[in-house]
Amino acid sequence: MDILSGVLIVAGSALAMIGGIGAVRFGDLYSRMHAAAKAPTLGLVLVSIGAAIAIDTLLAYTTLLLVVILQLLSSPVGAHALSRASRRQTPVALDGPDDLSRDEDRAASRHAEPSD
């Protein structure tokens, strides 16, 4: 049991370290966001399981379960809000048609027509 919790804690910490390395080495904003948002979240889940096994109290189980649920809910929302907010400011190379800009322009023109 002790070995299992230690392995889980070290694996989760290694995932968080990989996220940090990716935030340094990736080339553009969205790649860095990909590394910084996903890897530490899985690392947090693994570390929480390992720590819950190691501490082994009811308080630790409930608190860490709540922490994992909150992080799994809040991390994608935060990354989505950040990427949407920085879309206009930091242009990146597209690999296809820009559907969101097209929809926004169409909505803007449709919104402008009745006022004329």
Partner 1 sequence: MTTFALVLLAIGAAGFLFRLLRGPSLSDRVVGLDGLQSIVVIAIIVAAARSDSGITIETVLVAVLVGFVGTTALSRFIERRGN
Q: Which residues of this chain interact with partner 1, rule CB under 8 A?
A: 5-6, 9-10, 12-14, 16-24, 29, 32-33, 36-37, 40-41, 43-44, 47-48, 50-51, 54-55, 57, 59-60, 63-64, 66-67, 70-71, 74-75, 77-79, 81-82, 84-86, 88-90
**In degrees, to the nearest 5, what angle opens at C-alpha 77 toward C-alphas 76 and 82?**
100
Nearer to partner 1 among residue 85 and residue 94 (C-beta): 85
Cα 24 to Cα 5: distance, rounded to the nearest angstrom: 29
Q: How far is the CB of 14 from partner 1 (least distance, A)?
A: 5
Tell me the two tokens of residue 40: 């530490």
Nearer to partner 1 among residue 77 and residue 115 (C-beta): 77
Cα 43 to Cα 31: distance, rounded to the nearest angstrom: 18
Nearer to partner 1 among residue 10 and residue 102 (C-beta): 10
Interacting residues of 18 by C-beta distance below 8 A, sequence separation 6+: 35, 39
